[in-house]
């Protein structure tokens, strides 16, 4: 059984016991435990079920590479599935439960899949679900949905908060093992701005566990001294619990810091996403041990040798009383020695190599451990827990020589450098035959904006597995990254001779199918040696295809343990070399990053910027229903009592048409254009002439893209001899300002014109309705009479003591004044107008009333009548296009033959024969069908409303032939029921002569 | 436009404030003028002098938040004066730059201004956007973004000043509040 | 994520502070141009693997448009320069040629 040893555990604080719960059982751990070590210390080896066959699964690893031991953690708003127990720290009161099983961990119905495993081979999904088509939807999917999925989705909103922060440095070092520390020392001493990130809560990585001796001291002492030295350097930032998740172009790094993951509910952000820009990056990310592929290597109790050593040394947890060690290298002997030193039994070390006579095997033998060279595991015995191993010759086909009882197996198939950060931006790898590993090819690094190397891999990540080589390599890599010549001497580790490993891709070498179909490559996705071999036989030669066909390496661990073993098997099956097969692409993140951290602060009220006008609070106080218009929030209508929105809109319109209403039009874009060439510039920008606009006058104008299509419209006013103010649509302010600057900076840079976006300087209020003038007159301060201020003019002055610019323009068709006032006075003016208008029954009206009134008047709206394919001529706006001008933006575009075609759909009005409202988006039907057998169309509706003024449905739309079709009755499509008959009419439904607005 | 008679302009958030590991407060309204002119137009030095201001070099701000001048682009300056002095300052500029191609316009009401104060104020700024707070020079005016909106930031006496558009004042206040939350210190 | 130095304000801006504007050094064809000329100006764009000239606006910054010479394959940035030119500065072209001898030159 697994148990907590009475002594040892270098990371534990035994004075701080922590209670926690696993599947309802109260258990005890210590400060310093990971969830994994705490569970193992309580003999919880069985932790979950695999994805496909629901096989029992236990801990395999002790770090980020763990594929099996994922749990549900927390409750309610802090519930999280798929928490990797090996990297999550234990905290008091933690509530854990196992996942992916039903009804219980011990007895799982889904395990029946295991019995049918030979039907669920690689490519099963592809083969099964292609035919018949109906079977997927009705048979397979419901069954698979029931049994698939890792973990449950949280039901409550996340109770925690997250944030992001930015940092910058010359050298970022990922990994706080001895390589990272040595690198930080070199870069720090060179005076560079250094950030050193370590994903775990402690420094030093594996060196203390491996018993390295550095500069004559135990590794732990050297590590403590080095961290203390680094902490004294003001140019070095040290961060633990912070994982560099990905490297992106030009030295951009995303790193996830676990701020309060281990102290839930203390008010700090749970996690923080760092966005770091580094000139150079040092990847000191270490290496991961590989499993061996032998039958039954997935049975709980079979673990990586390094993990077994970690649990014993770091957390004083014995994975088993009797542990068989199986290896193809010397390093695993350290595990046997550590177990023995902890007083545990190691019945045998099975070394697949023909001989094992280096210092470590010799030491093991001297400690009385039986070492069997040339031997292998034929199969592991046991179900939910290892009970023993059957031994065979590695060179043979699995004939059992002997069975040995044990409750744990420590395996080592060699090491793979963690090359993820090297590879994310395109660093290339080479195959190191001697060490049987892919390691960074220093001649083909990822490059940065200057064309120079961006990432320097050092230490184990660079393929150096011994401390003696790691430290100088780290010093050298860091010096190169810092752009300095290596000065001083790197720390020196005591040499430790190790004999070379021998690659072992299947164990035993000649294993028959019965054994190969029980050799797991990918534990989480249940991919076995036999599945990869099958894929190869079926023609999947590319590693990327095999990956997708078998799902090898596609689980949440992203193949950290399985990839190299898998492609080695693939290479063997294809009878080629491993480098010919290559690796799959390494993509960020290195391990999963919480979505909350990626979202950061963008949540709730500050999910996105909501732009608010100076009158916003008034709208909210008066029950406005706010609608999004881009990022702005605008009042759509102001329901009173029990009014529906449409009732409110109708009331607002009738009140404006008969009395007076106020619209908050502050969102309209306002751009100042000034300079000796401003008139000439505006003549290029607008389709009509603006240069001859009189001072004090207003003129409606259209803007087109260079391709000829309408892009914006609005009223332009001339402030003085060389200054104009252009009003744009709400959505157009920033876009049109950028458009102006683009042309001024990049095409007509010798023209003397300046622009300024003053949109937010002013609140703008439309006072519309027959009583509008009376309201303004009551406020007093300036003459707003028809004589001094006729339609399409403006004046500056004061109203109610406030500085204003009053425009006689109208989008409603009524007598209307649009008043601009500095934003800080916006609310005051609005309230003054409301008060002054009370005697006339003044109302606030929203954007929907505005829309309906402009449609009654036949005014077009950007985004309704236009969609990026409509030119002014389509909307009968030829009058706003200058014939005299030699050029304007869009003129040449509009001359293209298909835009000049008489067959284009053009604007007209529509009235249904029965007075009903045409549905939004309806098409005008035409006889016959097109090449695809679809009914022909001859136009579509663009604006359609119920007009409370006219008490019937009104619409505008585009129809082939446009106004020449006047009087025709056409049919609009309806989603349900019969087409709707409507008559083509003039689009101006209200006050065609303009007596009201001109009045 | 005319000056207001007996009326007080209000800042977007009415002086909202928050105290976390740093103190955040909305200030203003401040008088602000956007001046567009090329560095070499006649009268530019004089125009600044007429306001008692020094012409700022690239990415620098001279004077203070209360009365200062910031470099916004090769042909744009931000002039800071007391709110009540804007129309006077505009008249001075018009006089000094008469005949020189320029644009000077009141943008006082288009902006929201915040102060972020305290020893750890820089940590709040470091959460807003890609601004390297540690290498921000004294009197450097950095235009960038605060999360999803445009902002300008400079260090000044006990903290930082941040300017953004008025319509997003509440959003920026929310950002600053979240960033300065107690316990969310970066170091 | 790219960083480009704005030649106007000297800020090493990152991509989120910039907005892209497509191919640089296009020659405008207005009224009077042939259909072929207008089509080329309006729609035909280079899409090279290698050296490319692009328009970028320092949108969250000084607001100026500038031009960048960049390798689309390696993302190496050869240089940035103000937009008020109709061809890349000769010094920059020479620098690119030195780094990419196979480059056919600015056309």
Record the tokens describing residue A465, joined without a space: 């597995």
Yes or no: domain B17-179 corresponds to CATH 3.30.1360.120: yes
**pLDDT grade for A122, boundaries at 50, 70 and 90:** low
Angle C96-C97-C103 (CA atoms, 0-180°, nearest 5)?
A: 100
C3-99 belongs to which CATH class?
A: alpha beta
**How do the domains of chain B map onto residue ranges?**
17-179
- On average, the pLDDT of chain A sits at 94
Contacts of B101 in chain A (CB under 8 A): 675-676, 752, 754
Query: Where does the pLDDT of residue A524 fall: very low under 50, low under 70, confident under 90, or very high at 90 and above?
Result: confident
pLDDT band at A138 (very low <50, low <70, confident <90, very high): low
| CA B157/CA C41 separation, integer angstroms | 53
Q: What is the mean pLDDT of the segment spanning A631-655?
A: 97
pLDDT of amino acid A521: 95
pLDDT per residue over A481-523, tens digit each?
999 987 767 889 988 889 999 999 999 999 999 999 999 999 9
Q: Does B167 contact A612 at a Cβ distance shorter than 8 Å?
A: yes
Q: A449 vs C75: CB contact, 8 Å cut-off?
A: yes
Q: Is residue A143's pLDDT more than 80?
A: no
Neighbours of chain C (3+ CB pairs under 8 A): A, B
Domain borders along chain C are 3-99
Whether residue A447 and residue C57 make contact (CB cut-off 8 A), yes or no, is no
How would DSSP label each residue in A20-81? EEETTEEEEEEET-BHHHHHHHTT--EEEE-SSS--EEE---SSTT-SS-EEEES-GGG-EE
What distance in Å separates the CA atoms of residue C9 and residue B186, rounded to the nearest whole number? 29
Provide the CATH topology of domain A162-287+416-482. FAD/NAD(P)-binding domain (3.50.50)
A514-576 CATH, one of 2.40.30, 2.30.30, 1.10.3470, 1.10.10: 1.10.10
Report yes or no: C3 at the A interface, CB cutoff 8 Å.
yes
Q: Which of A251, A252, A886 lies nearest to residue C31, judging by beta carbons?
A: A886
**Cβ–Cβ gap A250/C31 under 8 Å:** no
Kindly indicate the confidence band of residue A557, based on its pLDDT and cuts at 50, 70 and 90: confident
Range of lowest pLDDT (A100-114, A634-648, A710-724): A100-114
Position A117 scores a pLDDT of 63
Looking at the partner chain, which of C13, C17, C64 has a beta carbon nearest the beta carbon of B73? C64
Predicted pLDDT of residue A911: 97
Query: Given an 8 Å threshold on Cβ–Cβ distance, is A893 in contact with C42?
Result: yes
Q: What is the pLDDT of residues C3-48, one digit of tens each?
A: 999 999 999 999 999 999 999 999 999 999 999 999 999 999 999 9
Cβ distance B74 to C9 less than 8 Å, yes or no, reads: yes
- Please indicate whether, in this complex, the C-beta atoms of A801 and B107 are within 8 angstroms of each other: no
Listed residue (A947, A935, A875) closest to A905, CA to CA: A875
Q: In which residue ranges of chain A is CATH 3.50.50.60 found? A: 162-287+416-482, 291-355+369-413
pLDDT of amino acid B163: 98
The yes-or-no verdict on residue A147 having pLDDT over 70 is no
Rounded to an integer, what is the distance from CA A179 to the centroid of its chain?
Answer: 31
Closest CA of chain A from B2, distance in Å:
5
Choose among C14, C16, C62: nearest Cβ to B73.
Answer: C62
Spell out the CATH class of A902-998.
mainly beta
The sheet carrying B61-63 orders its strands as: B61-63, B68-73, B76-81, B31-36, B103-106
Name the B residues in 70-109 with CB < 8 Å from any C CB: 72-74, 76
- Inter-chain CB pairs, B–C, below 8 Å: 39
Q: Using the predicted structure, report yes or no on whether residue A105 has a pLDDT greater than 80.
A: no
Percent of chain A scoring above 70 in pLDDT:
95
Largest CA distance in chain B: 56
pLDDT, position A131: 58
Q: Which CATH superfamily is domain A660-895 in?
A: Probable tRNA modification gtpase trme; domain 1 (3.30.1360.120)
CA distances (Å), origin A20, targets A93, A97, A501, B71, C73: 5, 11, 41, 59, 52
ipTM comes to: 0.98
| Per-residue pLDDT at A946 exceeds 80 | yes
State residue A112's pLDDT score.
62
pLDDT in tens, B10-39: 999 999 999 999 999 999 899 999 999 999
Nearest residue of chain B to residue C62 (CA atoms): B73
User: Does the pLDDT at position A649 exceed 80?
Assistant: yes
B73 vs C11: CB contact, 8 Å cut-off?
no
For residue B7, give how far its alpha carbon lies from the nearest alpha carbon of chain A (Å): 7
pLDDT at residue A149 greater than cutoff 60: no
The residue ranking higher by pLDDT, A862 or A557, is A862
Rounded Cα distance between A747 and C28, Å, is 8
Mutate: best of A254, A740, A746, partner C, most C CBs <10 A: A746
pLDDT at A144 over 60: no
Q: So what CATH class is A291-355+369-413?
A: alpha beta
Q: How far apart, in whole angstroms, are the C-alpha atoms of residue B158 and residue B121?
A: 8
Instruction: Report chain A's C-alpha Rg in angstroms.
Output: 38
User: Could you tell me the pLDDT band of residue A108, with boundaries at 50, 70 and 90?
Assistant: low
Chain C residue closest to A250 (CA)?
A: C2
Across A455-467, b (16+ Cβ under 10 Å) vs e yields: bbbbbbbbbbbbb
Chain A residues with beta carbon closer than 8 angstroms to that of B1: 796, 803-805, 822
Tell me which of A525 and A482 has the higher pLDDT. Answer: A482
Q: Which residues of A touch B183 (CB under 8 A)?
A: 260, 266-269
Q: Where in chain A is the domain with CATH 2.40.30.110?
A: 902-998
Smallest CA–CA distance from B8 into chain A, residue:
A825
Kindly report, residue by residue over C45-93, the tens digit of the pLDDT: 999 999 999 999 999 999 999 999 999 999 999 999 999 999 999 999 9
- Among candidates C9, C14, C64 on the partner chain, residue whose Cβ is nearest the Cβ of B59: C9
Which chains does A contact via 3+ CB–CB distances below 8 A?
Answer: B, C
Count residue pairs from A and B with Cβ separation < 8 A.
Answer: 154
pLDDT bracket for residue A988 (50, 70, 90): very high
DSSP A136: I
What confidence score (pLDDT) does residue A541 get?
84
Distance from CA of B89 to the nearest CA of A (A): 17
CB contacts of B102 in chain A (<8 Å) are 754
Residues 6 or more apart whose Cβ sits within 8 Å of residue B128: A166, B145, B146, B147, B151, B153, B162, B175, B176, B179
Nearest to A633 by CA among A617, A622, A646: A617
CA distance A251 to chain C (A): 8
Would you call C2 and A250 a contact, using CB atoms and an 8 Å cutoff? Answer: yes
Residue B5 — very low, low, confident or very high, per pLDDT cuts 50/70/90? low
Task: Please tell me which residue of chain B has the smallest CA distance to C18.
Answer: B144
Q: What percentage of chain A has pLDDT greater than the value 90? A: 88
- Sequence ranges of chain A with CATH classification 1.10.10: 514-576
Residue of A nearest to C34 (CA): A892
Residues A566-583 have pLDDT tens digits of 999 999 999 999 999 888
Cβ contacts of A248 on chain C, cutoff 8 Å: 1
Contacts of C67 (CB under 8 A, 6+ apart): C24, C25, C53, C54, C55, C56, C80, C81, C82, C83, C85, C88
Q: Which residue from A670, A235, A291 is spatially nearest to A482, judged by alpha carbons? A: A235
- pLDDT tens digits, residue range B139-185? 999 999 999 999 999 999 999 999 999 999 999 999 999 999 999 99
C57 has a chain A CB within 8 A of its CB: yes
The alpha-carbon gap from B38 to the nearest alpha carbon of chain C, in Å, equals 13
Sheet bearing A94-98, strands edge to edge: A25-31, A13-22, A94-98, A70-73, A80-84
Q: Which residues in chain B have Cβ-Cβ distances shorter than 8 Å to A823?
A: 12, 109-110, 166
Domain with CATH 3.30.1360.120 in chain A: 660-895
Closest residue on chain B to C65 (Cα):
B73
Look at residue A982 and give its three-state secondary structure: strand
| Partner-chain contact C61 B59, CB within 8 Å | no
pLDDT, tens digit (0-9, with 9 covering 90-100), for A227-259: 999 999 999 999 999 999 999 999 999 999 999
A chain contacts of residue B2, beta-carbon cutoff 8 Å: 796-798, 803
CATH of A1-156, one of 3.40.50.1110, 3.30.750.24, 3.10.20.440, 3.30.70.1060: 3.10.20.440
Minimal CA separation from B62 to chain A, in Å: 22
Rounded mean pLDDT, A879-891: 95
CB pairs under 8 A between A and C: 67
Residue B76 pLDDT greater than 70, yes or no: yes
- pLDDT at position B6, please? 58
At residue A555, the pLDDT reads 84
pLDDT given at position B4 = 67
Q: Would you state the pLDDT for residue A370?
A: 98
């Amino acid at each position: 059984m697994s148990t907590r040893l009475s002594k040892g555990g270098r990371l534990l604080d035994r004075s701080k016991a922590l209670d926690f719960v696993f599947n309802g059982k109260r258990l005890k751990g210590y400060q310093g435990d990971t969830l994994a070590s705490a569970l193992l210390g309580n003999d919880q080896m069985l932790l979950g079920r695999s994805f496909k066959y629901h096989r029992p699964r236990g801990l395999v690893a002790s770090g980020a590479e763990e594929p099996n031991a994922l749990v549900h953690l927390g409750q309610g708003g802090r519930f999280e599935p798929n928490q990797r127990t090996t990297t999550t720290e234990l905290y008091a009161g933690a509530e854990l439960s196992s996942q992916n099983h039903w009804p219980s961990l011990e007895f799982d119905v889904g395990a029946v899949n295991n019995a049918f495993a030979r039907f669920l081979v690689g490519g099963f999904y592809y083969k099964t679900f292609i035919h018949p088509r109906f079977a997927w939807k009705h048979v397979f999917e419901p069954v698979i949905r029931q049994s698939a999925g890792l973990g449950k989705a949280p039901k409550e909103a996340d109770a925690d908060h997250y944030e992001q922060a930015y940092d910058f440095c010359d050298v970022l070092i990922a990994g706080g093992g001895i390589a990272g520390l040595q690198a930080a020392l070199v870069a720090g001493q060179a005076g560079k701005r250094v950030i050193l990130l370590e994903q775990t809560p402690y420094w030093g990585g594996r060196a203390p566990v491996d018993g390295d001796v550095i500069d004559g001291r135990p590794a732990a002492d050297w590590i403590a001294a080095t961290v203390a030295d680094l902490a004294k350097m003001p140019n070095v930032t040290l961060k633990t619990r912070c994982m560099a998740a990905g490297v992106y172009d030009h030295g951009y790094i995303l790193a996830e810091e676990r701020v309060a993951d281990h102290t839930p509910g203390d008010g700090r952000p749970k996690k923080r996403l760092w966005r770091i820009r580094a000139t150079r990056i040092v990847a000191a990310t270490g290496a991961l041990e590989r499993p061996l592929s032998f039958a039954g290597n997935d049975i709980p109790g079979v673990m990586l040798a390094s993990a077994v050593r970690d649990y014993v040394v770091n957390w004083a947890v014995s994975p088993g009383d009797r542990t068989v060690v199986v290896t193809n290298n010397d390093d695993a002997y350290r595990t046997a020695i550590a177990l023995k030193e902890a007083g545990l039994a190691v019945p045998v070390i099975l070394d697949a190599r023909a001989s094992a006579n280096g210092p470590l095997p010799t030491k093991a033998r001297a400690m009385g451990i039986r070492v069997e060279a040339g031997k292998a595991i034929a199969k592991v015995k046991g179900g939910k827990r290892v009970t023993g191993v059957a031994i065979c010759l590695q060179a043979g086909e699995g004939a059992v020589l002997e069975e040995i009882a044990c409750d744990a197996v420590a395996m080592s198939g060699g090491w793979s450098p963690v090359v993820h950060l090297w590879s994310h931006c395109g660093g290339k790898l080479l195959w190191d035959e001697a060490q049987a590993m892919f390691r960074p090819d220093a001649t083909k690094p990822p490059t940065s904006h200057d064309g120079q190397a961006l990432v320097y891999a050092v230490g184990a990540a660079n393929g150096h597995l011994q401390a003696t080589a790691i430290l100088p390599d780290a010093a050298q890599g860091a010096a190169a990254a810092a752009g300095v010549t290596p000065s001083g001497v790197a720390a020196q580790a005591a040499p430790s001779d190790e004999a070379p490993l021998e690659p072992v891709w299947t164990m035993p070498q000649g294993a028959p199918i019965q054994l190969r179909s029980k050799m797991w490559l990918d534990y989480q996705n249940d991919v076995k040696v036999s599945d990869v071999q099958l894929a190869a036989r079926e023609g999947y030669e590319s590693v990327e295809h095999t990956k997708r066909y078998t799902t090898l390496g596609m689980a949440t661990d992203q193949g950290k343990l399985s990839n190299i073993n898998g492609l080695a098997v693939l290479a063997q099956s294809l009878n080629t070399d491993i480098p010919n097969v290559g690796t799959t692409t390494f993509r960020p993140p290195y391990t999963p990053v919480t979505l909350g951290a990626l979202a950061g602060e963008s949540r709730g009220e500050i999910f996105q910027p909501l732009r608010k006008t100076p009158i916003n609070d008034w709208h909210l106080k008066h029950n406005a229903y706010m609608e999004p218009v881009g990022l702005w929030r605008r009042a759509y209508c102001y329901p009173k009592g029990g009014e529906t929105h449409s009732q409110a809109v109708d009331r607002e319109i009738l009140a404006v048409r008969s009395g007076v209403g106020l619209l908050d039009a502050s969102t309209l874009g306002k751009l100042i254009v000034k300079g000796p060439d401003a008139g000439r510039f505006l003549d290029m920008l607008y389709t009509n002439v603006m240069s001859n606009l009189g001072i004090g006058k207003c003129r409606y104008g259209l803007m087109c893209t260079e391709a000829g299509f309408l892009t914006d419209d609005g009223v332009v006013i001339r402030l003085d001899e060389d200054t104009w103010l252009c009003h744009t649509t709400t959505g157009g302010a920033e876009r049109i300002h950028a458009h102006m600057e683009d042309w001024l900076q990049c095409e007509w840079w010798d023209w003397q014109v300046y622009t300024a976006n003053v949109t937010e300087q002013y609140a703008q209020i439309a006072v519309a309705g027959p009583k509008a003038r009376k309201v303004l007159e009551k406020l007093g301060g300036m003459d707003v009479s028809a004589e001094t201020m006729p339609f399409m003019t403006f004046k500056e002055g004061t109203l109610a003591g406030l500085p204003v610019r009053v425009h006689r323009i109208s989008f409603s068709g009524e007598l209307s004044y649009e008043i601009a006032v500095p934003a800080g006075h916006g609310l005051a003016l609005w309230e003054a107008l409301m008060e002054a208008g009370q005697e006339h029954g003044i109302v606030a009206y929203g954007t929907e009333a505005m829309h309906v009134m402009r449609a009654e008047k036949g005014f077009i709206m950007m985004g309704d009548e236009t969609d990026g394919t409509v030119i002014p001529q389509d909307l009968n706006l030829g009058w706003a296009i200058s014939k005299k001008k030699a050029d304007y933006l869009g003129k040449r575009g509009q001359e293209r033959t298909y835009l000049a075609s008489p067959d284009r759909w053009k604007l007209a009005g529509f009235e249904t024969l029965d007075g009903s409202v045409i549905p939004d988006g309806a098409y005008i039907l035409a006889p016959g069908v097109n090449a695809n057998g679809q009914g022909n169309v001859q136009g579509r509706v663009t604006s359609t409303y119920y007009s409370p003024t006219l008490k019937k449905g009104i619409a505008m739309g585009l129809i082939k032939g446009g106004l020449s079709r006047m009087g025709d009755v056409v049919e609009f499509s309806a989603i349900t029921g019969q087409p709707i008959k409507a008559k083509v009419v003039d689009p101006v439904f209200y006050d065609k002569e303009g007596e009201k607005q001109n009045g | 436009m005319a000056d207001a008679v007996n009326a007080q302009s209000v800042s977007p958030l009415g002086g909202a404030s928050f105290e976390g590991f740093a103190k955040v407060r909305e200030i203003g309204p401040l008088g602000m003028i956007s001046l567009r002119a090329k560095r070499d137009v006649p009268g530019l030095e004089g125009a600044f002098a007429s306001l008692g201001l020094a012409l700022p070099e690239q990415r620098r701000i001279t004077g203070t938040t209360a009365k200062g001048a910031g470099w916004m682009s090769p042909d744009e300056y931000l002039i800071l004066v007391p709110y009540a002095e804007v129309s006077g300052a505009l008249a001075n500029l018009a006089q000094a730059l008469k005949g020189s191609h320029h644009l000077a316009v009141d943008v006082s009401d288009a902006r929201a201004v915040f102060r972020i104060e305290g020893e750890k104020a820089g940590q709040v700024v470091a959460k807003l956007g890609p601004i390297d707070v540690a290498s921000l020079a004294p009197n450097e005016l950095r235009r960038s973004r605060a999360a999803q909106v445009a902002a300008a930031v400079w260090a000044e006496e006990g903290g930082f000043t941040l300017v953004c558009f008025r319509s997003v004042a509440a959003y920026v206040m929310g950002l600053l509040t979240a960033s300065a939350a107690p316990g969310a210190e970066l170091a | 994520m790219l960083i480009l130095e704005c030649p106007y304000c000297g800020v090493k801006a990152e991509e989120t502070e910039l907005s892209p504007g497509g191919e640089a050094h296009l020659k405008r064809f207005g009224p009077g141009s042939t259909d072929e000329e207008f089509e080329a100006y309006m729609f035909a764009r280079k899409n090279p693997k290698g050296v490319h000239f692009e328009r970028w606006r320092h949108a969250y910054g000084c607001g100026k448009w500038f031009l960048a010479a960049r390798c689309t394959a390696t993302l190496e940035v050869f240089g940035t320069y103000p937009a008020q030119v109709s061809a890349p500065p000769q010094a920059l072209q020479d620098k690119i040629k030195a780094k990419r001898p196979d480059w056919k030159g600015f056309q």
